[in-house]
A = this chain, B = another copy of it.
Amino acid sequence: MGTAWTESDGGVTAPVGFVAGAVNCGIRSEKPDVALLLSDRDAVLAGTFTSNRLAAAPVALCRERVALGVGRAVIVNSGNANAATGAQGRLDADRMAVLTAEALGLTSEAICVCSTGTIGVPMPMDKLEVGIKGAVDALSSDGGAAAARAIMTTDLVPKEIALELEIDGKPVRIGGMAKGSGMIDPNMATMLAYVTTDAAVDTTALQDMLREAVQDSFNRITVDGDESTNDTVLCLANGAAGNTPLQPDHADWPLFVQAVREVCGRLARMIVKDGEGATKFVAVTVQGAADDGDARQAARAIANSMLVKTSWFGCDPNWGRIYDAVGYAGVQVDPDAIEIKLDDFVAVRDGLVAGGADLKSLEAVLKQDEFTVLVDLHVGRGNDTVYTCDCSYEYVRINSEYHVR
């Protein structure tokens, strides 16, 4: 099966029946800070969330909504995470849903709420009350781009994508937007992402499929190893395309799954490429591990090593730091079998330095904007891949100068 879809504009508002709007309500000084996404009819709702045990109030609200399996709208604010805010935080998240529902003439159970930004600051509900009304007034069928901008925090570029494909011979669209940048680690969804589609999809099938797609996309990325309190991926399928509801027995199910995975995978890569201070995109694959768990553990140890990430930033052919990270990852290794490749350059073979005299070639690999690291442990058949970035002065600048107000 090839990539039987075409790419289009419009992001989350590309699918039929979705509108979005965004405004600034003063949580952040000037940037837009409230985004609203609305389906003109009930949509099947699926979601995955952070595994952080101090998850924020809106995450608890969204979990309840996803359990209902149906929704109409998502209200998102940036600038305040509504985390570490206790019972009042949950009341504020509920109130955001009520305010949005009232402005749209819906019930609050139809509204999801997401927040991202500083932890431990009470939600400025007076500002949000104005902002939510403004976002409703701003709703537009080409509002996807504005919404993608409003959910950004330290992101430098908005992240959106839309694909068009055929299901039952009818055109179906899938749209997506995401924000990322800091506190990005692949234990779970690890950022905010929204996937919309006008396909009709069975509720359970959508949730199962989303969970797997997230596992292979957002859960494979890491910027700094810090998993947020607010990570959320939501998927809304409103059925406006008029196809027979999709589920695993449907002939076009594999195509639809592949397209959703493409949307999640592309958004996940966009998050890494726009990681705080990132100058390089690196795919780290560990194969030949005792099992997939070992492979994942070793790949994450490499991808989260500050010594490895700073050496990439400096284009330093210091593969010894990758070797060291494999050693402390706690996985089964055979010191005499380990192999390390950077793109096509073999740095280590049979546990020994290979091509050691040719550090110039290795430096050339590292000077690229993108490259791959492949570690073959040669002890089994487990493998996994993690996508990450380097660590630059800019990462330190962003995170030492980002002051709470």
Partner of A84, one of B304, B306, B316, B353: B353
> How many copies altogether?
2
* Proximity string of chain A (58-83) to chain B, C-beta cutoff 8 Å, 1 when within and 0 when not: 00000000000000000000000101
Note all chain B residues with C-beta closer than 8 A to A85. Answer: 352-353
B307 touches A120 (CB 8 A): no
Interchain nearest-CB distance for A239 vs B (Å): 36
Assess whether A345 is interfacial by the CB under 8 Å rule: no
Assess whether A244 is interfacial by the CB under 8 Å rule: no
A224 touches B306 (CB 8 A): yes
Note all chain B residues with C-beta closer than 8 A to A225. Answer: 304-306
A351 touches B84 (CB 8 A): yes
A229 touches B120 (CB 8 A): no
Tell me which of A225, A327, A338 has the highest count of chain B C-beta atoms within 10 A of its own C-beta: A327
B400 touches A316 (CB 8 A): yes
Partner of A352, one of B84, B118, B404: B84
A401 closest partner in B (C-beta): B314
B396 touches A313 (CB 8 A): yes
Which residues, 62 to 112 on A, are CB-close (under 8 Å) to B?
81, 83-86
Interface of A (DSSP majority class) = loop
B120 touches A353 (CB 8 A): yes
Interchain nearest-CB distance for A399 vs B (Å): 4
Given contacts A84-B348, A316-B404, A321-B226, contact A333 B54 (CB under 8 A): yes
A329→B337 CA distance, assembly (Å): 33
Given contacts A318-B118, A320-B83, contact A306 B399 (CB under 8 A): yes
* Proximity string of chain A (373-405) to chain B, C-beta cutoff 8 Å, 1 when within and 0 when not: 000000000000000000111011101111110
Interchain nearest-CB distance for A388 vs B (Å): 13
Chain A interface category by residue count: 35 or more
A403→B321 CA distance, assembly (Å): 12
Note all chain B residues with C-beta closer than 8 A to A351. Answer: 84, 86
A83→B183 CA distance, assembly (Å): 33
Assess whether A251 is interfacial by the CB under 8 Å rule: no
Partner of A52, one of B316, B320, B324: B324
Assess whether A15 is interfacial by the CB under 8 Å rule: no
Assess whether A121 is interfacial by the CB under 8 Å rule: yes
Assess whether A33 is interfacial by the CB under 8 Å rule: no
Given contacts A351-B84, A396-B392, A403-B314, contact A54 B305 (CB under 8 A): no
B226 touches A324 (CB 8 A): yes
